Amino acid sequence: MEGDIPLADGPFAGWMHGDIEKLMFTLAAGATLLVGSLLYGTIRFVEWYNSEPIIPYTIAELEAPKEKRMLENPSIKASDNSNIQCYAPATGQYLGYVAPSTPDDIDRVIEKAHVAQKKWARTTFTQRRQVLRSMMAYILDHQEEICKVACLDSGKTMIDAALGEILVTIEKLSWTLKHGEKALSPSRRPTNLLMLYKKNTVRYEPLGVVAALVSWNYPLHNLLGPVISAIFSGNGIVVKASENTAWSAQHFSLIARGALYACGHDSNLVQVVTCWPDTANHLTSHSRISHITFIGSRPVAKLVAAAAAKPLIPVVAELGGKDAAIILNSAVKDLPRIIEILLRGTFQAAGQNCIGIERIIGLPEVYDKIVAALEPRIRALRVGSALDAPADSPVDVGAVISDASFNRLEKLIEAAVSDGARLLVGGKRFSHPVHHSGHYFTPTLIVDVTPEMAIANEECFGPICVVMRAKNPEDACNIANHPDFGLGASVFGSKDWELNAIVKKHQVWYGSYQ
């Protein structure tokens, strides 16, 4: 440095003043980084030390009857009694009977939850977190067992169970543990100039006993999801599980009930009922229910809302969808990766996925490439029972919950083909060479579908890949918005301005399919 004078003596003899300044800056930066790291580590240690201890517990294992009995024409309605007949959709194996809940049964479980909730409402967030942490530990320690039960009762594959049951349930538990207290903490609201002498604070109080009517496609996650939110908010809950997965419903509820009991709380806080549709009205119109969550179809949602309107129960409904995946021209270089996402989004849980991909909308430069890539992959998909498949021939697509939708799906495909669509793969029910009583639909690829066709507007909820052509991004958006449904969508591309234009207009996941 010009004008800099070297030091004459001392440990830094011969050093320039500028060198000393650089050294001091380096030491200061290093010290700051070290102190910051130590402080961060201390905070994390304190958080860990103060975290609620996990209480281990066990629940009874759920096993299928040791003597396998295959039903010839499996149905949840038994021919000789009024019980719910439980069976494995992938094989037709008889699993047992579940007595359907009656109105009196529903009254009793609501009363039990009501009594338990009065005490639970006074628990601290620390106590509630302990229950959730214990639940999380149990699920993580028993993943394989849980997945096998879900596979047996719903027909899905083990990988579908791992992703759709375990992963998402753990993620919901994790989010609630990290952010639940903050989300429910009192918050201030601004006031106006004339009301400066007043303070506005929003406080969240437990509702009481809430209800959740959940679908069968994710027997663990759909059941525990509303339970997690309900009990962390200080509520009791009654879950009406689907009669299609009645066999596993009570078992999965024990994961929550067991955690409550192990942590010293009343397990009656969480209740599960399974009943026939004509009895469900008693639950949805019950005066002791403070809130209803519903997962299912639009026609049933209207019935739930009408029943809930009598005692003025608020309802949150998550209904069907015709979710679109828009593939822009700029995504052409990423197509190999995108194809994997499209296959997973379409065929996970045999297409019985609430936010599964129901339509693929491709622009001109990628459309033919998408079709060419999908056809051999879909044709090669292996269908069957994941729990019975040999190790050297794993299953890609599991069973459908029942064959009740097969006639409708075949008619949708036939009508589309007669109107000009091209059926490249599948299109009909699949007769499994081994599992003759299983419910299978051939993985299907139908292309050149247009917005006016019924298959482009009705939710399939099956292993059917529908591919549609769009002229440009605006046309793709119009096609995506054509059905009455609204749930989710995804868009793939590499140009930010192009992606942003779609993201700003529509509810989509930016860059990846969730």
The pLDDT score that the predictor gives to residue 46 is: 46
Tokens linked to 89? 């959709």
Residue 385 contacts residue 375 (beta carbons within 8 Å) = no
SS (H, E, C) 323-342: CEEEECHHHHHHHHHHHHHH
Pairing of strands 315-318, 359-362: unpaired
* Beta carbons of 470 and 362 less than 8 angstroms apart: yes
| Model pLDDT, residue 216 | 98
CA distance readout (Å), 321 to 96, 316, 498: 33, 16, 25
Catalytic residue among 318, 414, 458, 498: 318
Give 72-112 as a DSSP string.
Answer: SS--SB-SSSSSEEEE-TTT-BEEEEEPPPPHHHHHHHHHH
**Structure letter (DSSP) for residue 267:** G
Distances (CA, A) of 505 to 4, 322, 473: 61, 17, 11
Distances (CA, A) of 419 to 360, 388, 457, 478: 19, 40, 14, 20
Radius of gyration from C-alpha coordinates of the chain: 28
> Chunked in runs of 10, what are the mean pLDDT values of the chain (514 residues)?
52 55 61 62 51 94 93 95 98 98 99 99 98 98 98 98 98 98 95 87 97 98 99 99 98 99 99 98 98 96 97 95 95 97 98 95 99 99 96 95 98 99 99 98 99 98 99 95 86 88 67 45
Overall residue count recorded for the chain in this entry: 514
**What are the phi and psi torsion angles at 304 (to 5°)?**
-65, -45
**In the numeric block, which tokens belong to residue 359?**
């339509």
Q: What are the residues whose beta carbons fall under 8 Å from the beta carbon of 309, sequence distance 6 or more?
A: none
pTM: 0.87
Half-sphere exposure of 10 (CA within 13 A, CB side): 7
Q: What are phi and psi of 69, to 5 degrees?
A: -130, 120
* Distance, CA of 489 to CA of 481 (rounded, Å): 10
Contact 460, 412 (CB under 8 A): yes
* Strands 200-202 and 187-189, bridge-based pairing: antiparallel
Rounded Cα–Cα distance for residues 270 and 287 (Å): 18
For residues 130 and 279, give the distance between their C-alpha atoms in angstroms, rounded to a whole number: 35
Closest CA to 326 of 372, 358, 373: 358
Q: Does the annotation count 111 as an active-site position? A: no
Joined together, the tokens standing for residue 284 give 């949805």
Domains with residue ranges and CATH for the chain: 84-184+201-318 (3.40.605.10), 324-510 (3.40.309.10)
Burial class (CB in 10 A: 0-12, 13-18, 19+), 200: exposed
